[in-house]
């Protein structure tokens, strides 16, 4: 049961990170007047996903080392 809860938690994190990345990317693209196409939008969401998971991994490492 614990693995099922962990999987659900990770899926929720992933979905909300994609939504947040989409919103953040769209607002930054509008602010910087970037021509928006599908490739640029997908790359923006991927960068936000990568950044969030790097921060989560770093926090997990610090938590485990203490």
> Tens of pLDDT along 25-55?
888 888 998 888 888 888 888 888 888 889 9
Per-residue pLDDT, 25: 83
Q: Give CA separation, 18 vs 10, 45, 64, in Å.
A: 12, 6, 27
Which domain, by its residues, includes 32? 2-65
Average pLDDT over all residues of the chain? 87
Question: Measured in Å, how far apart are the chain's first and last C-alpha atoms?
Answer: 27
Q: With pLDDT > 90 as the criterion, what percentage of the chain qualifies?
A: 8
The dihedral built from the CA positions of residue 50, 33, 20 and 42, taken in this order, carries a sign that is negative
As for how many domains the chain has, the answer is: 1
Per-residue pLDDT, 46: 87
Per-residue pLDDT, 31: 92
What is the DSSP code (8-state) at residue 59?
Answer: H
């Amino acid at each position: 049961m614990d693995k099922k809860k962990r999987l659900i938690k990770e899926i929720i994190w992933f979905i909300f990170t994609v939504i947040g990345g989409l919103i953040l990317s769209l607002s930054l693209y509008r602010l910087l007047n970037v021509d928006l196409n599908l490739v640029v939008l997908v790359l923006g969401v991927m960068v936000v996903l990568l950044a969030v998971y790097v921060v989560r991994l770093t926090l997990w490492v610090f938590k485990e080392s203490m």
